[in-house]
A = this chain, B = another copy of it.
Amino acid sequence: MNTEEELNALGYPVLKPKTPVPSDIEVSQSIVRDVGLLPITEVGKQLGLNDDEIIPWGIAKAKIPLTARTNRLDVEDGNYVVVTGINPTPLGEGKSTTTIGLAQALSAVRGKKTVACIRQPSQGPTFGIKGGAAGGGYAQVVPMEEFNLHLTGDIHAVTAANNLLAAAIETRLFHEASQSDEALFKRLTSKPFSAVQKRRLRKLGIDETKPPEEFTPDEKRRFARLDMDPSTITWQRVLDTCDRHLRTVEVGLGAQETVKSGSERVQHSRRTGFDITVASEVMAVLALSTDLHDMREKLGAMVVAYNKQGEPVTADDLGCGGAMTVLMKDAIMPTLMQTVERSPVFVHAGPFANIAVGNSSIIADAIALKVVGPDGFCVTEAGFGADIGMEKFFNIKCRASGLKPKCAVIVATVRALKMHGGGPPVAAGQPLSIEYQQENVELVEKGTSNLIRHIENAKKYGVNVVVAVNQFKTDTLAEIEAIRTNALQAGAFAAVVSNHWAEGGKGAAALAEAVEQACADSQTENFRLLYESSKSIQEKIEIICKEMYRADGVDYSPTAQAQIEQYEKSGFGHLPICIAKTQYSFSCDASAKGAPTGFRVPVREVRSCVGAGFLYPICGDIMTIPGLSTRPGFMDVDISESGEVIGLF
């Protein structure tokens, strides 16, 4: 552990937290104004990056090219730590804040090379109810307004790529409805076969070197007519805006969007919908790609519909995989920012946690692990509760990356455990009941059932578990001790209190020490996944539901069964499973708190992200584009006389 002087010399400022802790934007702006940001190129250099491995993107942000990893292939990976949590209250239990606080403690307090890897938040909810996702208090990424809005444009690139494909689908339907095979083929071959067209020829088993004029009518038809069954189209348009009226729309109602049908013209319209951008499969691809070429293959392989013969139609069949990759070529680079204590943070990808992996990118973690080296730490966050976020982190993200974590930090709060112990409901915008403001050890004791099950679950993967009690000022010693005792009994390597929100890295020093010890004690070869991907789709779903949620079994709707059959038939049966369910309970019933048993998991349908590489069973109501309240957050956001952002939160 370095002295304060040594840390200062390393460029870490001494944080002087205010009491009470101001709003997040006030903390962020005061750090920028009073302490000053380290030039972002300096943040990168202190981490050991070379000049050509730091691409400035504005004053406070930089893109880190993938060469930062490939230049260090002979370096041993650092310690890989995932931060996850118990099933939260709707107020959140501070996973992002703990991720940032832990990274601040490891770097600015304990002098370890550390990178925190977190997701980029969707801009939509930022203007709605949610607020930002930069952490909070004295454990946050700064400037928070830069973090929360636009960042380096990655989400906008996802929007552009997603919607290019949507336009391609709609237009292809339109052109196929209004043109003969011959006319379609002639237009599609008006220029030499492009790279993506050659991919389609290879897929169809047609010699790609054959001149178009030598194609047989059957070959022309097979090449030119995708023959999508409109009822099977799953690709939606996206916007990074909370616009609930776009959930279901009818498109193609214009006077020019008509096609000839017999002797008359009929409207070429279709019912479809918009999702919020982070729910796009393109975002999931960004999170799960390992490099540019891998991303190219994944984007091209995305299945958007089935043809009338039941065969999958991909983005590459529509000629879009290459152009989408080009649109995503900057987005593939993680964004470097810094915390209030100048610790480096990689912000990269933000796939929707309820239908996708809810984890930041493989690329960011992989770069971070090489850059920090064997004595360093990559602290990465898994969204939602550990039953979803951590499970997906291990079984989808680590499976795809081959990276091996050593330690899982499970964040718990006295408040949430009281709720799990039977306390009254907690809701955003409502005053907290008295149970949450006064000592109640019994509720906490009862509620630890939730934490205990998450600890047991995490240990199945062969990692050490550290419980972080994210401290609130109303917590009492007896309440915290109840959590610690139960956690250690359940097999946690350590259980410590952390007060990074109010104190910054210093407040998380004990947590950082515990994580260091947990990593030193752990062997990466002990890491194991929960299931083999070669098992059947139903087996995999059942293993997760029984081993992680402790369900008695799984019930499939006829739709889900038919979809599973379709996927097995189409060759997608090997994909890992990404269950979409509530984050508020182990079960599919958000009100079932603690450690519920005796329930079954109903699978309503099973959707696919074939490009990103997972199937996602839908076990509950899934909302893929939020709305705005009568008094949304945007009404408070403005610029001040001096041009500063105000009212963000």
Tell me the nearest residue of chain B to A322, going by C-beta.
B638
- Decide if B184 touches A630 in the complex (CB within 8 Å): yes
How far, in angstroms, from A194 to B631 measured CA to CA in the complex? 11
Nearest B residue to A150, CB-CB: B153
Chain B proximity of A198: nearest CB distance (Å)? 10
Any chain B CB within 8 A of the CB of A605?
no
Are A326 and B645 closer than 8 Å at their CB atoms? yes
- A326 x B123 contact (CB < 8 A): no
Q: Chain B CB within 10 Å — which of A240, A242, A248, A293 has the most?
A: A248
Stretch from A94-102, A159-167, A594-602 at the B interface: A159-167
From B127, B251, B296, give the contact of A164 (CB < 8 A): B127
With beta carbons under 8 angstroms apart, the residue of B149, B187, B635 that contacts A326 is B149
A175 at the interface (CB under 8 A from B): yes
Segment 15-68 of A: residues with Cβ below 8 Å from B: 55-59, 63
Q: How far is the CA of A208 from the CA of B137 in the complex (A)?
A: 32
Q: Chain A interface residue count: which class? A: 35 or more
Smallest CB-CB separation from A273: which chain B residue?
Answer: B254
A194 to chain B, nearest CB (A): 5
A205 within 8 Å of B by Cβ? Answer: no
Structural contact, A322 and B639, CB atoms closer than 8 A:
yes
Q: Does A253 contact B (CB under 8 A)?
A: yes
| Alpha-carbon gap, A179 to B631, bound state (A) | 13
> Using an 8 Å CB-CB cutoff, how does the interface string of A610-642 with B read, 1 for contact, 0 for none?
000000000000000001111110111111000
A239 on the B face (CB < 8 A): yes
Contact of A55 among B59, B252, B271 (CB under 8 A): B59
Q: Which A106-123 residues have C-beta < 8 A from chain B?
A: 123
Report the Cα distance A326→B146, complex, angstroms. Answer: 10
State how many angstroms separate the Cβ of A257 from the closest Cβ of chain B: 6
Q: Mark A179-200, 1 if CB is under 8 A from B, else 0.
A: 1000010011111001111000
Decide: A245 near B251, CB < 8 A? Known: A327-B149, A635-B197. Answer: yes
Tell me if A474 is interfacial: C-beta within 8 Å of chain B.
no
- The answer to whether B248 touches A254, judged by C-beta atoms less than 8 angstroms apart, is yes
Given A322-B638, A634-B164; A257-B241 close (CB under 8 Å): no
B-chain residues with CB within 8 Å of residue A436 when the two chains form the complex: none
Instruction: Name the residue on B nearest A634 (C-beta).
Output: B323
Verify if A171 is at the interface (C-beta below 8 Å from B). yes
Given contacts A58-B63, A254-B273, contact A195 B322 (CB under 8 A): no
Q: Mark A268-303, 1 if CB is under 8 A from B, else 0.
A: 111101000000000000000000110010000000
CB-CB under 8 A from A57, the residues of chain B are 56-58
Chain B residue nearest to A646 (CB atoms) is: B195
Distance, CA A154 to CA B489, complexed state (A)? 55
Considering the complex, which residues of chain A in the window 311-339 have a beta carbon less than 8 Å from any beta carbon of chain B? 319-323, 325-327, 329-330
Confirm or deny: A496 has a beta carbon within 8 angstroms of a beta carbon on chain B.
no
In the complex, the answer to whether A191 meets B636 with C-beta atoms within 8 Å is yes
Copies of the chain in the assembly: 2
In the bound assembly, the distance between CA atoms of A176 and B55 in angstroms comes to: 48
Is the beta-carbon distance between A157 and B150 smaller than 8 angstroms? yes
Asked if residues B631 and A187 are in contact (CB atoms below 8 Å), the reply is yes
CB of A257 within 8 A of CB of B251, answer: no
Q: Which residues of B sit under 8 angstroms from A639, Cβ to Cβ? A: 292-293, 296, 322, 325-326, 329
Chain B residues positioned under 8 Å from A248 (CB to CB): 252-255, 257
Nearest-CB residue, chain B, relative to A295: B639
Contact A244 B634 (CB under 8 A): no
- Bound together, the chains give a CA A355 to CA B243 distance in angstroms of 26
Query: B160 to A241, Cβ gap below 8 A?
Result: yes
Given contacts A167-B242, A245-B251, whether A187 and B638 have CB atoms under 8 Å apart is: no
- On whether A627 and B194 interact (CB within 8 A), knowing A239-B163, A253-B249, A325-B639, the answer reads no
Q: A156 at interface (Cβ–Cβ under 8 A)?
A: yes
Q: Which residue of B lies closest to A253 (CB)?
A: B248
Instruction: Decide if A292 touches B643 in the complex (CB within 8 Å).
Output: yes
Contacts of A190 in B (CB 8 A): 631
Alpha-carbon separation in the docked complex, A421 to B646 (Å): 59
Report 10 cross-chain contacts, Cβ distance below 8 Å, ordered by A residue: A156-B160, A167-B244, A170-B243, A191-B636, A197-B635, A245-B268, A319-B632, A322-B636, A322-B637, A329-B645
Which residues of A are in contact with B by a Cβ distance under 8 Å? Answer: 55-59, 63, 123, 127, 145, 149-150, 152-153, 156-157, 159-160, 163-164, 166-168, 170-171, 174-175, 179, 184, 187-191, 194-197, 237, 239-257, 268-271, 273, 292-293, 296, 319-323, 325-327, 329-330, 627-632, 634-639, 643, 645-648
